[in-house]
Amino acid sequence: MSVREHDLGEIRDAVAKLCAAFPMDYWRETDRERRYPTEFVRALTEAGWLSCLIPEEYGGAGLKLAAAAAILEEIQKSGANGAACHAQMYTMGTVLRHCSEAQKKKYLPGIAKGELRLQAFGITEPTAGTDTSAIRTAAVRKGDRYVVNGQKVWTSRAEHSDLMLLLARTTPREQVQKKTEGLSVFIVEMKAALGRGLTIRPIRTMINHATTEIFIDSLEVPAENLVGEEGKGFRYILDGMNAERILIGAECIGDAKWFLAKATAYAGERKVFGRAIGQNQGVQFPIARAYMATEAAALMVERAAALYDAGKPCGPESNMAKQLAAEASWQAGDTCLQTHGGFGFAEEYDVERKFRETRLYQIAPISTNLVLCYLAEHVLGLPRSY
């Protein structure tokens, strides 16, 4: 069932009310200081929004991905930045579908209560990029433990997470028939690992994203922390990746709606040559076009979420949802900045911050080019190009 068919009004209203307690000067300050929005994340946790996907038997709300998408969309629509905590939602795709019952009982109640944070997704590596099958981080079984060596990059929120889902090779690439085989997923307890084989180095970027590089040197991970079967991890993380793309798409829709509201209000108020600039078609038309793109992308996000919630294949839809929504948010952001003129570059208007934040999703969590390659090959049947 799609978001529009669901009655999510109460959820949206409650999230909007919570976000209103964190005005724009709060986000300007955290951005300026490159500070993690601890207070905001705590408020979302205490309200139960970050545990919305966790089943009720483990202390969560047991909601569907469509509800999580509505929550994140509302956060972005308010002018906040859900990137500080969205991983706790999209990692649930892997955890809920592939973790053992013992693992769920061990970790999910703590996550639901806010005692544990699952905010880190250790996938990308410096030499592999979007070619996940080419990762070099290796995990070797030694008795009741795996010894892991390697490196990860763009692992956001690692410094603020208690748990990390880590993808590593358990069988060398040259020893498998398909390059996506031989990959395994592990749950890493971050605090126990720090200083015992795990090192985290923050990476300063153009946005306040709390992203890091991780170095892994003979880190011991209990064998009981292996998710599912050894060597089947690539399939497991796809559930997390599809959820991630859908939820990022929802965030982009929220960003786009924020930009559109901001641009529309300013165009109606700002007067040049004795009249509101919004009277000019040169100002109206770009805003109207961005609105159309946003509404169209929102439909694809809803469709992808509905397929995911129904347990149906949704790879193409998830990729299209993320890409179309990212393009719509960037179009709306560029239009909003253009509408504001010079004032759009001023920190106090918040446009420049959101402009920087939404630009990320043109390349993350998957690049535009790889989305197009995927659709060309797997949907349209064209020859593989990479």
Its pTM stands at 0.95
What is the per-residue pLDDT for 239? 86
Q: What is the pLDDT of residue 313?
A: 95
pLDDT value of residue 200 = 98
* The pLDDT value given to residue 130: 86
Q: Which two tokens stand for residue 11?
A: 């959820």
Task: Please tell me the distance from the alpha carbon of residue 335 to that of residue 8, in angstroms, as a whole number.
Answer: 29
In a 3-state reduction of DSSP, which class is residue 187?
strand
Alpha helices in the chain (DSSP H): 9-20, 24-33, 38-46, 65-77, 87-90, 92-98, 101-113, 190-193, 233-269, 281-309, 315-340, 351-359, 368-374
Active site residue 125: no
Identify any residues that bridge with 221 across adjacent strands, giving them in sequence order: 146
Tell me which of 73, 244, 317, 357 is the catalytic residue. 244
Q: What is the token pair recorded at 373? A: 């390659």
pLDDT at 169: 98
In the chain, which stretches have pLDDT less than 70? 1-7
